[in-house]
């Protein structure tokens, strides 16, 4: 019996760069069309429930976050090859407007030049823009509009990917300090303000997967009070850690478990309802933001969704947990894509 597995993408680019080039994606889809059964997530769910394995290698294609390049570049290529996929858009990032931007279809038909197609931002740029300014009603907004999401439904099913999609701190131990060059784009949300040099960095995960640790206001105020020259010292991070631990009994306020539970339920429920109202369809599948989850989140997601997908690299196996379905991330180069197919084949043979 052959392997069954799920792959995921984020962005498809008009040029070689930080993610998958559209011509590379086209070749990858040609390979899948030629040698694999490409199925929906509903079919993956059935394989698991019925503990069945196909005779031909089988794959489901997914996209996370809901970037507009998925519409501009991926959608026409998938449609050209007659393939289906699922998109997991972040509910808060969707622009609730009815305009539709030009796609490869328009370019192929000579309606627009290639330069007129959307030029994607990096994931960090796109998400930080949202955290700083909210959804922007402009044609260069890097996420989908409601109209674009609906226009893709002949190729894409739609799944849930929560509302906030940001990392938050969850521990008390200082593991580093923000120095202007390190940190994650979502620290803007984790700190509740623009990160300042000297702010403590703690362990972080998807906001749904942990009880939050809020860095205390007085800790941030103390860091802000330090002169610029303080941060020019070679050992300023070592000195600052000692000072904070000496000056403050606690550097964080910890979110109680029950508060977290209520927060997660509210976000899952509201983001699911938002998406369903946008597309006028029920949503059955969910992808954990950043792939992070714990036992409580798995339990709560199960109240709202039939399946949930991780970022753990594995194939579908007998008795795979319906709310811990693994997925292989697809790197930007074709050789790595082929390596993923090879790994799936090896893992499938062992399962």
Residue 318: the pLDDT is: 85
Tell me how far apart the alpha carbons of residues 275 and 38 are, in angstroms, rounded to a whole number: 25
CA distances from 291 to 11, 103, 202 (A): 17, 29, 19
Beta strands in 41-119 (DSSP E): 58-65, 85-89
Residue tagged 């105020």 (tokens):
221
**DSSP label at residue 61:** E
Sorted by where each begins, the domain ranges of the chain are 4-164+260-350, 167-206+217-250
Per the CB < 8 A criterion, the answer to whether 285 and 305 are in contact is: yes
As a three-state string, the secondary structure of 148-175 is: HHHHHHHCEEECECCCCCCEEECCCCCC
Residue 179: the pLDDT is: 98
Tell me how far apart the alpha carbons of residues 214 and 221 are, in angstroms, rounded to a whole number: 14
End-to-end Cα, the chain, rounded Å:
10
β-strand pairing of 4-9 with 58-65? parallel
Residue 350: the pLDDT is: 84
Paired strand residues for 287 = 309
**DSSP label at residue 71:** I
Tell me how far apart the alpha carbons of residues 269 and 300 are, in angstroms, rounded to a whole number: 10
CA-based nearest residue to 6, from 333, 318, 330: 330
Per the CB < 8 A criterion, the answer to whether 187 and 127 are in contact is: no
Go through 301-312 and write b for each residue having 16 or more CB atoms within 10 A of its CB, e for each that does not: beebbbbbbbbe
For the entire predicted model, the pTM comes to 0.97
State the chain's maximal CA–CA distance in angstroms. Answer: 67
Tell me how far apart the alpha carbons of residues 191 and 195 are, in angstroms, rounded to a whole number: 7
Sign of CA pseudo-dihedral 199, 204, 207, 212? negative
Tell me how far apart the alpha carbons of residues 84 and 59 are, in angstroms, rounded to a whole number: 11
Sign of CA pseudo-dihedral 255, 293, 311, 148? negative
Q: How many residues belong to the chain?
A: 351
Condensed to tens digits (0 to 9), the pLDDT of residues 50-98 reads: 998 899 999 999 999 999 999 999 999 999 999 999 999 999 999 999 9
- CATH fold of 4-164+260-350 reads TIM Barrel (3.20.20)
Residue 27: the pLDDT is: 99
Per the CB < 8 A criterion, the answer to whether 138 and 121 are in contact is: no
Give 103's Cβ-side CA count (13 Å radius): 21
Question: Which residues of the chain have a pLDDT value below 50?
Answer: none
Reported as type and span, the H/E element at residue 215 is strand 213-215
Burial class for 198, CB neighbours closer than 10 Å (0-12, 13-18, 19+): buried
């Amino acid at each position: 019996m052959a392997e069954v597995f799920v792959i995921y993408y984020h962005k498809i680019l008009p040029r070689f760069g930080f993610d998958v080039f559209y011509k590379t994606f086209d070749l990858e889809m040609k390979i899948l069309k030629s040698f694999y059964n490409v199925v929906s997530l509903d079919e993956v769910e059935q394989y698991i429930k019925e503990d069945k394995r196909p005779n031909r290698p089988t794959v489901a294609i997914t996209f996370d976050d809901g970037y507009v390049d998925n519409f501009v570049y991926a959608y026409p290529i998938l449609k050209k090859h007659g393939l289906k996929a699922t998109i997991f858009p972040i509910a808060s990032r969707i622009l609730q407007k009815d305009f539709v931007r030009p796609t490869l279809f328009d370019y192929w038909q000579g309606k627009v030049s290639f330069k007129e197609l959307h030029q994607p931002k990096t994931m960090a740029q796109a998400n930080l823009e949202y955290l700083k300014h909210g959804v922007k009603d402009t044609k260069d907004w890097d996420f989908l509009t409601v109209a674009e999401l609906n226009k893709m439904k002949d190729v894409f099913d739609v799944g849930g990917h929560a509302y906030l999609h940001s990392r938050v701190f969850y521990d008390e131990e200082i593991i580093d300090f923000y120095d202007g060059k390190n940190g994650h784009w979502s620290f803007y949300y984790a700190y509740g303000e623009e990160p300042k040099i000297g702010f403590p960095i703690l362990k972080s995960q998807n906001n749904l997967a942990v009880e939050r640790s809020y860095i205390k206001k007085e800790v941030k105020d103390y860091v802000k009070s330090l002169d610029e020259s303080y941060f020019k010292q070679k050992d300023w991070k070592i000195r600052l850690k000692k000072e904070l631990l000496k000056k403050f009994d606690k550097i964080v306020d910890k979110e109680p478990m029950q508060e977290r539970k209520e927060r997660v339920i509210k976000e899952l429920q509201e983001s699911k309802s938002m998406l369903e109202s946008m597309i006028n369809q029920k949503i059955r599948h969910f992808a954990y933001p950043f792939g992070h989850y714990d036992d409580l989140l798995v339990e709560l997601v199960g109240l709202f969704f039939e399946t949930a997908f991780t970022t753990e690299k594995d194939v579908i196996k007998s008795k795979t947990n319906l709310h811990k379905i693994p997925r292989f991330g697809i790197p930007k180069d074709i050789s790595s894509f082929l390596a993923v197919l090879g790994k799936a084949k090896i893992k499938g043979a062992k399962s």
